Amino acid sequence: MRVTIFGTGYVGLVTGTCLAEVGHDVVCVDIDTAKVEGLNNGVIPIYEPGLEPMVKANHAAGRLHFTTDAASAIEHGDVVFIAVGTPPDEDGSADLKYVLAVARTIGQHLQRAAVVVNKSTVPVGTADKVRAAIAGELQNRRTTLVFDVVSNPEFLKEGDAVNDCMRPDRIVIGTDSPAALEKLKRLYAPFNRNHERIVSMDVRSAELTKYAANAMLATKISFMNEIANIAEQVGADIEAVRQGIGSDPRIGWHFIYPGAGYGGSCFPKDVQALAWTAQQSGCNPRLLDAVEAVNAAQKGHLFELMTRHYGDVRGKTVAVWGLAFKPNTDDMRAASSRTLLAQLWEAGARVQAYDPEATHEAQRIFGERDDLTLCGSAGEALRGADALVVVTEWKQFRSPDFGKLAATLADKVVFDGRNLYEPAEVENAGLAYYGIGRGRSVRSFA
């Protein structure tokens, strides 16, 4: 099938590439000329495992095209996807200006019947706004055309996006048009093998499904972080508690890892946007507000532990392992590391940071500053440092030589924001250890 995708960000680029991979003829449109030029020359703007070779192969095979020419791209597609960003507005609501701009562009250039599919994460009711924006432009052109607007939210995780896209656990399609549903079923048929993954529903339910999924996951994390804080105070170990509850299939093992708080482009923004939608519709989002508040506090927890240990961190040099909001990505949007660094700087400490992928992103965000050194390796970050803080659980941070750490770190202390280490093992090497919700170690050093 002939597919057009507006937006070459995470969602658009991954979706377009995977659709090309299964044989569809895909045109990706972006207004960013440099990005499109780069993609046409094999420069992939994001780090995502497995994506680069797939983009290159499909581009070379002539199934994946990149352009800034919206008119010809709209001409191309039987199905036209909107996959542009919905950044949070000042009040926490999702800003629809990019989505609606694309909708107007579609209305300006559409020449034949089409299915317009919204993949961007948008509040309930947006499909109606997209429909109205397209219809408005058609009316300006005095043209009548049949078109459907479908909601088809994405559930891909950064760092595993290609895999999620190629092997989705569900494909949610929201539409009231049987013809549009049939078309999308054909489009997704190659991804729908072995058992039925397509869940079809009305448009508004599909729009709400995306927020419900992310809000539920964020809730699990905030819940665990709250229990971890209780564990810390009462001298219990959250890691034992986690194992004690995860085996109950009603609770499950996933997303019950306490840590330095959730970040990224989805959870923080989607929880806020859903709370906003709730308020607008007359509901009081008590739970969503709490999920958000717990997370905001949790992002400050590592600094709190450091203050508990040191009293004052002024003049300290702190090695920070991990800047990305999670492993296998270079994304630092809403990352916990940003909160920690800001707090350390505010308190007069220096930071020596290492991240396997996010160094250039950190450079872009922080620029040159005297109290930050971006290092080329985990070892380099430790040199001359007083303490180590682990913020992102990259695999390469999982089993350091604790003896060496004890010999290198002047103050012999490790703050483990992702509970990667066994407290006893770290302590046996002569280091003080602080994890998240690991009461036993906190007691011995308080």
Does 165 qualify as catalytic in the annotation?
Answer: no
Catalytic residue among 18, 28, 165, 266: 266
Beta carbon of residue 140, minimum distance to ligand UDX (angstroms, whole number): 35
Beta carbon of residue 104, minimum distance to ligand UDX (angstroms, whole number): 26
418 contacts: CB under 8 Å, gap ≥ 6: 257, 259, 260, 390, 391, 392, 393, 436
Beta carbon of residue 338, minimum distance to ligand UDX (angstroms, whole number): 12
Query: In what side-by-side order are the strands of the sheet with 317-321?
Result: 372-374, 350-354, 317-321, 387-390, 413-416, 432-434
How many residues sit close enough to ligand UDX to count as binding (CB under 6 A)? 19
Q: 98 or 211, CB closer to ligand UDX?
A: 211
Among the listed ranges 12-20, 129-137, 153-161, 179-187, the one in contact with ligand UDX (CB under 6 A) is 153-161
110 part of the interface to ligand UDX, by CB under 6 A = no
Among the listed ranges 46-54, 195-203, 260-268, 374-382, the one in contact with ligand UDX (CB under 6 A) is 260-268
Angle between helices 10-21 and 51-60 (to 10 degrees): 50
Q: What does the alpha-carbon distance between residue 227 and residue 244 come to, in Å, rounded to a whole number?
A: 13
Give the footprint of ligand UDX on residues 202-241 (CB under 6 A).
Answer: 214, 217, 221
- Contact in structure between 399 and 372 (CB atoms under 8 Å): no
157 part of the interface to ligand UDX, by CB under 6 A = yes
263 part of the interface to ligand UDX, by CB under 6 A = yes
- Ranges of beta strands (E only) in 277-400 are 317-321, 350-354, 372-374, 387-390
Q: What does the alpha-carbon distance between residue 161 and residue 303 come to, in Å, rounded to a whole number?
A: 31
325 part of the interface to ligand UDX, by CB under 6 A = yes
Q: 121 or 317, CB closer to ligand UDX?
A: 121
- Report CA 357 to chain centroid distance, whole Å: 15
Beta carbon of residue 268, minimum distance to ligand UDX (angstroms, whole number): 9
326 part of the interface to ligand UDX, by CB under 6 A = yes
Q: What does the alpha-carbon distance between residue 140 and residue 301 come to, in Å, rounded to a whole number?
A: 55
Own/partner pairs for 18-22, CB < 8 Å, 24+ apart? 18/54, 18/162, 18/165, 18/166, 18/191, 19/187, 20/58, 20/61, 20/63, 20/64, 21/54, 21/58, 21/166, 22/190, 22/191
Beta carbon of residue 170, minimum distance to ligand UDX (angstroms, whole number): 11
Beta carbon of residue 324, minimum distance to ligand UDX (angstroms, whole number): 9
Among the listed ranges 1-9, 96-104, 249-257, 360-368, the one in contact with ligand UDX (CB under 6 A) is 249-257
Nearest to 391 by CA among 379, 402, 401, 378: 378
Q: 114 or 320, CB closer to ligand UDX?
A: 320
Q: 188 or 255, CB closer to ligand UDX?
A: 255
155 part of the interface to ligand UDX, by CB under 6 A = yes
Which of 29, 116, 156, 387 is in the footprint of ligand UDX by CB under 6 A?
156
Query: In what side-by-side order are the strands of the sheet with 2-6?
Result: 64-67, 25-29, 2-6, 79-82, 114-118, 147-151, 171-174, 198-201
Q: 76 or 242, CB closer to ligand UDX?
A: 242
Summarize as ranges the residues that interact with ligand UDX (CB under 6 A).
154-158, 214, 217, 221, 255-257, 259, 262-264, 266-267, 325-326
Query: Which residue numbers are catalytic?
Result: 266
